Structure 1
Amino acid sequence: MTASTEVPNYASPVDLEAHGPYGPGRMDTGKGFNRPAYPFQGRVTADGSSGYRAEPGRYHLYVSWGCPWAQRTAIVRKLKGLERVVTLSYVDDERDSRGWAFRERRGADPVNNFAFLRQAYDATEPGYPGHISVPVLWDRETRKIVSNNFPDITIDLATAFEEWADTSVDLYPLDLRPRIDELNEEIYHSVNNSPYKVAGATNQHDYDEHRQRVVTALERLEERLAGQRFLFGDRITEADVRLWPTLGRFDLAYNPMAGISERSLTDFPHLWAYARDLYQRPAFRETTDFAAFLLLSKGPAPSFLNGGPERLTVEPAQADWDAPHHRERLTQG
């Protein structure tokens, strides 16, 4: 009997009192924030030389509405028109020490009927002791995880499935790959990961240093986007996909959680207009749930948030993401 015909297998409700918060035992919650390892790093290739051939219907993405790393995979899947090629489902928004789970609000696991995502990890490596993360790219054929390494998954979705994809969208063009890789590295360290470093800082020096790194990076991006529509001119690339989920969460989640800056995203006029330009496209809008972002600042404090520094107090800020952006003018002249 397939998972689709079984009675949905839902996890019991989140219970922090009984199970404790997620993190200890799975992640390093000591001094500072150290991003955990993502040990499953298989690659999908068009010719199957990696051991995983790109095929329609073979792969499934497990993602979360709140997780920025997971959202990137959902965005690429939609930009490339792969909705009928690679299936996707969402875990519940909240978790306790048992990790990501499947509950009625976001739906059951349509592939394996697991109650907890850790079951996918245990099926791949029995007794797996590490971080239970999303996104997860699951292989129906081997019944194992191909990858939980988020940078690889978006590249593979963007390049390996061209036989079934929208080939008019090239997120990782050959001529730009070295420059995209270079910018992605900078975006990762200074924008994507730095809010977690700010939150994890245990002393004033580290807190001030990490938050200044974020602000400086936003200022550089503001300048870069003053004269061009996207990070590499007039077309969306992998770099834009890497950047947007952090921008989308900045005012509602990252800045209130960590106390990064007195300035909100809306105080960077070019960056804010650029972020709206992307959001107003279906691939970004339809993979976004702003209510899920609020959980990072309004829910239980994440285990990596450390005391010690005197932090800025920042309230979550709602913005008008549907306001006209006028960025099309940058591709008309």
Structure 2
Amino acid sequence: MGLLVDGQWHDKWYDTKASDGKFVRSESQFRNAIKADGSSRFTPDSGRYHLYVSLACPWAHRTLIFRQLKQLTDHISVSVVSPDMLAHGWKFDDKQCQDDLFQSGFLHQIYTKADPHYSGRVTVPILWDKQLNTIVSNESADIIRMFNREFNGLTGNTLDFYPAALQSEIDEVNEQVYHKVNNGVYKAGFATTQEAYLEAFHSLFSQLDAIEERLSQQDYLVGDTLTEADWRLFTTLIRFDAVYVGHFKCNLYRIADKPHLQAYLERLYHMAGVKQTVDMYHIKRHYYFSHTMINPTQVVPQGPALPFL
């Protein structure tokens, strides 16, 4: 995971020395919005947008799920990067993993097409505008909200995963889950001091315990309504037992050991359109092969057995 500095690529990992061994995630820099009401230069037109994703990345996975559930697969095209992210970052390398728009070799070239002097991390997802030839957004939270609402007039799909009456509660749940679970596994896995690791570890499992208790009383994170909060948690849970338990040392217990979390995970996985967004080969290959500072041998484990997959 490198970065661009004034448009030039640098193979440089996160500087945890400056943060007492703690992993600090960079903020997304492209935060434009697609609007159906005409208030933005980005309008919800069929065929106009292209999504760059990694099948391994939980943040990008959110956008693929919303693309499926909101029936946008015929309207928004997709390119998938290779699971192997090494000296040049995310790359394209074969027929299944290629840049269908520009035939780029590396994802950082997409960033410099939008801004030749871009400085920052090169991350997925990216929502690209083919008409204006630029990046709309590289923030998954914003992209799923756009997919949720702004294309309804195009598709006729009125499923709403962020209903007005529940927005404050969804936002509250998202805030806790993001810091302690979604990003929490990375805080544990990328920590470079024992103290930083333990802080993230205990915060993570305290929150998972609270979610297990919540799911013992209701079907979803916000009562009995399926919302974006559930899909934001799902993409971490689906990777947890296969990757985060071992690779990121998040090993107090597995999701499979918690009956309500496991049932919830399986319920979401089996919803129509969701399982086809899950690629366990890409998930395991990326983490174990690419993070050589954690796994220098690059050996990818065969297990664990995940029967519901």
Tell me the TM-score normalised to structure 2 length: 0.88
Of residues 24, 32, 37, the one that matches 1:34 is 24
Question: What CA distance in whole angstroms lies between the structure 1 residues aligned with 2:13 and 2:36?
Answer: 34
Of residues 47, 53, 56, the one that matches 1:66 is 56
* TM-fit CA distance, 1:23: 7.9
Which structure 2 residues correspond to residues 150-165 of structure 1 after superposition, within 5 A? Answer: 150-165=140-155
* Contact 1:63 1:88 (8 Å CA) reproduced: yes
Question: What CA distance in whole angstroms lies between the structure 2 residues aligned with 1:151 and 1:85?
Answer: 20
Deviations 1:27-52 (A, max 9, x none): 44543211123111111111231321
Deviations 1:137-170 (A, max 9, x none): 0000111111111111111111111112353411
Return the index of the structure with the highest Cα Rg: 1
Deviations 1:96-137 (A, max 9, x none): 221212121523222222222111100111032321110000
* Contact 1:82 1:164 (8 Å CA) reproduced: no
Question: What CA distance in whole angstroms lies between the structure 2 residues aligned with 1:278 and 1:23?
Answer: 39
Deviations 1:213-247 (A, max 9, x none): 11111111111111222222333211011000100
Percent identical residues: 37
* Contact 2:255 2:261 (8 Å CA) reproduced: yes
The answer as to 2:253 corresponding to 1:263 is yes
Structure 1 runs (4+) greater than 4 angstroms displaced: none
Unpaired runs of 5+ residues, structure 1, are: 1-21, 307-313, 323-333
* Contact 1:139 1:146 (8 Å CA) reproduced: yes
Aligned residue pairs total 294
* TM-fit CA distance, 1:75: 0.2
Of residues 99, 102, 105, the one that matches 1:112 is 102
* Contact 2:71 2:157 (8 Å CA) reproduced: no
Q: Which amino acid aligns with 1:59?
A: Y
With over 3 angstroms needed to count, the CA separation of the structure-2 counterparts of 1:316 and 1:262, relative to structure 1, is: farther
* TM-fit CA distance, 1:66: 0.2
The answer as to 2:260 corresponding to 1:251 is no
* TM-fit CA distance, 1:282: 3.2
Aligned to 1:11: none
Of residues 262, 273, 297, the one that matches 2:263 is 273
Question: What CA distance in whole angstroms lies between the structure 1 residues aligned with 2:200 and 2:277?
Answer: 29
Aligned to 2:119: 129
The answer as to 2:5 corresponding to 1:25 is no
Tell me the TM-score normalised to structure 1 length: 0.82
Unpaired runs of 5+ residues, structure 2, are: 1-8, 296-300
